[in-house]
Amino acid sequence: MCGIVGYLGDRPAYDILIKGLKRLEYRGYDSAGVAMIHNGAFSLFKCKGKVSDLEEAVGMQDKSGNVGIGHTRWATHGPPNDVNAHPHASNDGTLVLIHNGIIENYASLKSELINRGHVFKSDTDTEVLVHFIEDIRDKTGANLFDAVRIALSEVIGAYAIVILDKSNPHQMIAARKSSPLVIGVGKDNEFYIASDATPIIEYTRNVVYLEDEEIARLDRTDGLKIVTISNQNKDPYVQELEMKLEAIEKGGYDSFMLKEIHEQPRSINDSIRGRMNLGMGTVKMSGVDEHADRWNKATRILVVACGTSWHAGLVAEYLFEEFARIPVEVEYASEFRYRNPVIYPTDVVIAISQSGETADTLAAIELAKEAGAFIFGVCNVVGSSIARATHSGAYTHAGPEIGVASTKAFTAQVSVLYLLALSVAQLRGMMRPERLNRLMAELNSVPEKIAEVLKTNEDVKKIAEIYKDSTNALYLGRGYSFPVALEGALKLKEISYIHAEGYPAAEMKHGPIALIDEEMPVFVIATQGASYEKVVSNIQEVKARKGKIIAIVTEGDKVVKELADHAIEIPKSDDSLVPLISVIPFQLLSYHVAVMRGCNVDQPRNLAKSVTVE
């Protein structure tokens, strides 16, 4: 949820930290701070607001130092303000620490420390942790590396931390549990550390992903040493990053969200490339053939995910039930983990997550693992916690998604789930080769169709202009288009702050119809397919109550265009592929409405890209 960055080497740390924090700002952006060691003292700057506010606050002050840490915060304990911003200092001021996660037993630790004379300035659990580490160091006489290890063995909760000691500018200590940390290894014991690889890739491609309950000592002389909380030595496993620098820059667009919407023809191609052979009529997904027995004996699929990824999971329910004839249940990970759910060892659990770090999804995976189910991950971030916690899986290959509102990750997830459903149907002999071939060919043409839909941008913008001041909106769809109605509503509310609801079109008459009047825009996916006539009837029900209809229709449609106030045409495709195409105008619409309302589309209020707290 928060962004962590650190540098230890010969270069000025401040610029590296600020640049890194800007790359990580999607993880949280309510306050920011940095600390460098210079001449045996900390230069500590922190404030409420964005990284740009921090830069302004630092201004021309001395920011020298070749070692430093930086943090961008998404508040959990205490409101966003200057005092609660990280880094936090220990009682005697010798240590500073940055933290992502939650220390659950912070209250009891804090009262013990207060009894021992510690004075706290902030409301945060982080400040308690740095005082606790200092206390252990002083009580036991241990060095900082050992003190961190001993302290963490008594801590309950989740954390990624980096800590500096002003008397040792040649060293940095880091640790993780349930929150990601990546160490970049430069030349001659130069080190970078961050919550993800984006602040690191322009300096080095060699990285070490810290594992849960590992503590790392980064040292200018001794290099990198890793131990577990139980004090076992671990050999650092250095991997090479494949990410490209251009992928994490805006590339001429005004925002990451707009860039990511426009990237979809490419990102979907990347998601499906190499996974189907049109000539041979076969689909090949990693994790299916290798675990054929688990897929063959599966009597049920459970999908666990949150937010937009949950919507992709809902599309997967329709796909798996139609293609592979396996019953599917789609679960909010946050509900599933606490419901005492019935999980069979014959279940296949598909965990979907863009970031691969969502705490609720991770916990749901652990629960299902304990029950003996087979866990298949669909993640975007390579090497992420979920990717590593699952038995097998497939990456979505959408490339880094920086805009907080998920766009290209959704379509990449649906594309991968589509191929997965086809692959399992093929394995279980549930699909005729002609149908498989036809669907693969249609999937292959989706990127082109999306490129066509992106050309409706100006028309969508005009519609946005008309409805930008609405206070409510309703999104309707049936069958494969129901999850898209949910996703359309989520996109609008999260970035423009207009209240929006997604509903199955036929369910509308059981309640939401009461909301409809001449002020209410109703966005309907009314493409020609299995439920076309039924949706036309639902549109008539809205019109009868004077609601405004904005319809997504199939190219050449006449009936709905006649009824609707506005229509956006999309190319014809099989019903099962409509979600990939019909979601595009909704993404564009939310984007334009948000920009017209003066909202920050990449960093909507109160949200963060990676929700590593429950």
* Residue placing its CB nearer to ligand F6R in the complex, 151 or 351: 351
* SS3 sequence of 318-385: HHHHHHCCCCEEEEEHHHHCCCCCCCCCCEEEEEEECCCCCHHHHHHHHHHHHCCCEEEEEECCCCCH
47 has catalytic annotation: no
Q: How do beta strands 157-165 and 95-103 pair? A: antiparallel
CB 161 within 8 A of CB 175: yes
CA geometry: angle at 102 spanning 191 and 179, to 5°?
40
Distance in angstroms (rounded) separating the CA atoms of residues 304 and 376: 10
Nearest approach, Cβ of residue 354 and ligand F6R (Å): 4
Interacting residues toward ligand F6R by CB under 6 A:
306-309, 353-355, 358, 361, 405-406, 490, 494, 610-611
* Residue placing its CB nearer to ligand F6R in the complex, 354 or 481: 354
95-103: strand order across its sheet: 88-89, 95-103, 157-165, 171-177, 214-219, 223-228, 233-234
* Strand (E) or helix (H) holding 467: helix 457-467
- Residue 297, classed as helix, strand or coil, is helix
Determine if residue 429 is left, alpha or beta; phi over 0 gives left, psi from -120 to 50 gives alpha, anything else beta: left
CA geometry: angle at 584 spanning 536 and 609, to 5°?
125
Distance in angstroms (rounded) separating the CA atoms of residues 614 and 610: 11
Nearest approach, Cβ of residue 399 and ligand F6R (Å): 14
Q: How do beta strands 548-554 and 521-525 pair? A: parallel
* Residue placing its CB nearer to ligand F6R in the complex, 492 or 539: 492
Nearest approach, Cβ of residue 495 and ligand F6R (Å): 8
Residue nearest to ligand F6R (CB): 307
* Residue placing its CB nearer to ligand F6R in the complex, 151 or 613: 613
Dihedrals phi, psi of 314, to nearest 5 degrees: -65, -40
Q: What would the two tokens of residue 313 be?
A: 């999971």
CB 356 within 8 A of CB 610: no
Nearest approach, Cβ of residue 333 and ligand F6R (Å): 8
Nearest approach, Cβ of residue 35 and ligand F6R (Å): 29
Dihedrals phi, psi of 256, to nearest 5 degrees: -65, -35
Distance in angstroms (rounded) separating the CA atoms of residues 11 and 463: 51
Nearest approach, Cβ of residue 106 and ligand F6R (Å): 25
Q: What would the two tokens of residue 541 be?
A: 């029900």
CB 524 within 8 A of CB 551: yes
Quickly count: other Cβ atoms within 10 Å of residue 493's Cβ: 18
CB 334 within 8 A of CB 360: yes
* Residue placing its CB nearer to ligand F6R in the complex, 169 or 180: 180
* Residue placing its CB nearer to ligand F6R in the complex, 407 or 528: 407
Nearest approach, Cβ of residue 85 and ligand F6R (Å): 23
Nearest approach, Cβ of residue 401 and ligand F6R (Å): 8
Q: What would the two tokens of residue 34 be?
A: 């940095």
* Residue placing its CB nearer to ligand F6R in the complex, 122 or 406: 406
Exposure letters 158-186 (e unless 16+ CB within 10 A, then b): bbbbbbbbbebbebbbbbbbbbbbbbbbb
* Residue placing its CB nearer to ligand F6R in the complex, 65 or 604: 604
- Residue of 2, 47, 306, 599 marked active site: 2
379 has catalytic annotation: no
DSSP letter, residue 39: T
* Residue placing its CB nearer to ligand F6R in the complex, 75 or 490: 490
Nearest CA among 427, 418, 103 for reference residue 272:
418
- Residue of 63, 449, 491, 609 marked active site: 609
Nearest approach, Cβ of residue 557 and ligand F6R (Å): 29
Nearest CA among 435, 448, 506, 440 for reference residue 477:
506
Residue type, 213: E
Nearest approach, Cβ of residue 157 and ligand F6R (Å): 20
Nearest approach, Cβ of residue 137 and ligand F6R (Å): 36
* Residue placing its CB nearer to ligand F6R in the complex, 122 or 612: 612
Q: What would the two tokens of residue 435 be?
A: 């149908």
* Residue placing its CB nearer to ligand F6R in the complex, 124 or 308: 308
Distance in angstroms (rounded) separating the CA atoms of residues 460 and 588: 7
Q: How do beta strands 233-234 and 239-240 pair? A: unpaired
Active site residues: 2, 609
